[in-house]
Amino acid sequence: MGARDLSILSLVSLAVFLVPVFLINRRLGLGINRTMITSVVRMCVQLSFVGLYLEFLFRFNSPVLNTVYLLIMISIACQSIVRSSRLRVKKIFIPVFLSLAIPFVVILFFFNAVVVRIDNLFEAKYLIPIGGMLLGNCLRSIIVGLNGFYSGIRKDEKVYLYSLSLLGSRIQALMPYFRENFLAAVTPTLASMATIGLVSLPGMMTGQILGGSIPMVAIKYQIAIMFSIFYTEYFSTILSVLFSLKVGFNSLDVLNRDIFTSKT
Amino acid sequence: MIQFDSVHLKLNNRQIFSGLNFRVREKEKVLIQGKSGIGKTTLFKILLGFEPIDSGTVRFNGLDIVRENIKTIRSQIFYLSQDIDLKNEPVRILLDEINRFNSFKNPDKTHLMDLLDFLELNEKILDQEVKELSGGERQRIGLLICFLLDRPVWLLDEPTSALDDVMKKKMVAYIPARDKTIVIISHDDVWKQNSDLRPDLRPGLRIERWR
């Protein structure tokens, strides 16, 4: 048993509420109508394509195809992280890619092999949606951690250099900037773990219940996924800072300003 | 100890040094003066590896300023920056941290108290955050760290600019009498009045040495 299918017409019917929103936006002079329409259209187009890909991937269920798809997902996530962090793609893409890919692959396969115990580790039905959830969450935490780290040092460069001269070690001089931004990156997940279920039911659980799972099964999956999200975020954020140090600083530990896209 | 040979450096399209030669022997005391913007502070930054040079050689204690040596070099130099760019933390925590990674020569509490006394600082200042300090207090905390660390080479950028006259005179008498290699950048006349200075004139940079 599964959720009832939705007809195209019934989806279109949801757009009806855009009319009053559109009018109110205009009345209040919010100036977001263009953005709103673009976002809605993008959402529909992107998700439709994903639907088509997924149908295709699920039908073939080929390990090679699934892996390629995962690599593409990681690359897109990476691109988006580097852009949002206002760092140069050319310089920082590879360190970010590795820091995302390593924990992601380890946790994802652990999830499939040890937690769910599926026979085919590359089973598209598990690999791709779970992978997507992990990546989506890491995206935010790496952006916060990495961007905060580099922009913090950039803003505070004199203080950083001065601690370098006093403490002598780069790691020690960098530690306060790392600590501050790492906490900002992982705290939201810890906070959401602490309130989950009290306020909102997570999307994955809702989906599973609609899809026919009994609530207890859905909850077990939710717990497993929360653990996995936290671990992936935690390690990929640490690694993103660690792996980027080589391009972020010169051989004498001074910040390389050419890793930033903007001058200020 | 410190050796600059035909150093060239261009910063933001401005030629700062074109063939600078400058040497400081061990235990020598040197005063550098000159208009702002002629690269006095840059000399210090080059030695600490914060500013790369375009050509020439710079050596510290015979060591090139490169990755393999930079830790050793930095651990021998105490640098007092013009704005004393300390992290904004309570002074006590800063001192603890610096001590943890360098270990002060004399970590005794009485030694610390003596130095505080000498710099006319109240013990309560240890619980204040760096941001709350006045310019003069920050400068004296910088000097306190200098005396506690007791490194062999001191690079002091305007060490007395925010001090009152009594304290200035005290420092002018105290600092050059230390058994260290010391380079001071200062516009302050109190340093010039020190009669032991031997002028060593160079275009732009005015360098004087204590005999």
Q: Which residue of B has its CA nearest to A172?
A: B101
Tell me how far apart the alpha carbons of residues B88 and A160 are, in angstroms, rounded to a whole number.
11
The percentage of chain B sitting over the pLDDT mark of 90, rounded to a whole number, equals 64
Query: Does any CB of chain B come closer than 8 Å to the CB of residue A251?
Result: yes
Supply the ipTM of this predicted assembly.
0.89
Question: Which pTM value belongs to this model?
Answer: 0.84
> Chain A 138-167, CB below 8 Å of chain B: which residues?
158-159, 161-167
Which of B79, B87, B97 is facing A165, going by the closest CB pair?
Answer: B79
Q: Any chain B CB within 8 A of the CB of A171?
A: no
| pLDDT score of B201 | 45
Per-residue pLDDT, averaged over B165-172, amounts to 92
Residue A44 pLDDT class (50, 70, 90 cuts): very high
Record: contact A165-B98, CB cut-off 8 A: no
- Which of B84, B85, B102 is opposite residue A168, by nearest beta carbon? B102
Would you say residue B152 has pLDDT above 90?
yes
Q: Are residues B101 and A164, on separate chains, in Cβ contact within 8 Å?
A: no
Question: Which of A158, A168, A172 faces B81 most closely, judged by CB atoms?
Answer: A158
For the segment B116-140, what is each residue's pLDDT rounded down to a tens digit? 999 999 999 999 999 999 999 999 9
pLDDT in tens, B11-22: 888 888 888 888
Q: How many CB atoms are located within 10 Å of the residue A185 CB?
A: 27
Half-sphere exposure of A137 (CA within 13 A, CB side): 25
The shortest C-alpha distance from B195 to chain A (Å) reads 32
Residues near A90 by beta carbon (within 8 Å), at least 6 away in sequence:
none
Would you call B50 an interface residue with chain A, using a CB distance cutoff of 8 Å? Answer: yes
Which residue of A161, A172, A252 to mutate against B (max B Cβ within 10 Å)?
A: A252
Give the integer Cα–Cα distance in Å for B130 and B84: 10
Work out how many CB contacts closer than 8 A connect A with B: 53
Chain A positions touching B85 (Cβ under 8 A) are 158-159, 161-162
Nearest residue in B to A171, CA atom = B101
Q: Which of A176, A200, A190, A199 is nearest to A229 (CA)?
A: A190
Widest pairwise Cα distance in chain B: 51
Tell me which of A110-114, A224-228, B123-127, B191-195 is least confident: B191-195
Res B101: pLDDT:
84
Kindly state the average pLDDT of the residues B184-208: 67
| DSSP letter (8 states) at residue B133 | S
A252 close to B (CB below 8 A) = yes
In this prediction, residue B208 has a pLDDT band, given cuts at 50, 70 and 90, of low
Nearest by CB: A252 against B67, B75, B79 = B67
Q: What is the DSSP string of B30-79?
A: EEEE--TTSSHHHHHHHHTTSS--SEEEEEETTEESSHHHHHHHHHHEEE
At residue A204, the pLDDT reads: 82
Q: Is a pLDDT exceeding 90 seen at residue A85? A: no
- Percentage of chain B modeled with pLDDT above 70: 91
Q: Which residue has the tokens 């906070």?
A: A191
Alpha-carbon distance B109 to B119, whole Å?
A: 15
Q: Cβ(A151)–Cβ(B34) under 8 Å?
A: no
CA distance linking residue B41 with residue B68, whole number of Å:
24
Q: Does B86 touch chain A (CB under 8 A)?
A: yes
Of A165, A176, A250, the CB nearest to B87: A176
Three-state SS string across B152-179, please? CEEEEECCCCCCCHHHHHHHHHHHHHCC
Distance from CA of B143 to the nearest CA of A (A): 12
Residue A53 has pLDDT above 90, yes or no: no
Q: Any residues with CB less than 8 A from the CB of B15 and at least 6 apart, and which?
A: B8, B9
> Residue A127 burial (CB < 10 Å; 0-12/13-18/19+)?
buried
Provide the token pair at A5.
């299918």
Q: Give the residue-averaged pLDDT of A165-194.
A: 92
Amino acid at B205: L
B90/A contact by beta carbon, under 8 A: no
Mean pLDDT of chain B: 88
Q: Is the pLDDT of residue A11 over 60?
A: yes
Task: Specify the DSSP element, H or E, that contains B148.
Answer: helix B135-149
HSE of B26 in the Cβ direction (CA atoms, 13 Å)?
5
Distance CA B111, CA B113 (A): 5
Number of continuous H segments (helices) and E segments (strands) in chain B: 7, 10
Contact between chains at A167 and B101 (C-beta distance less than 8 A): yes
Residue type, position A174, single letter: L
The pLDDT value given to residue A264: 65
Average the pLDDT over A210-228 and give the result.
90
- Which whole number is the average pLDDT over A129-158? 92
Position B197 pLDDT exceeds 70:
no
**Does the pLDDT at position A22 exceed 60?**
yes
pLDDT score of B200: 54
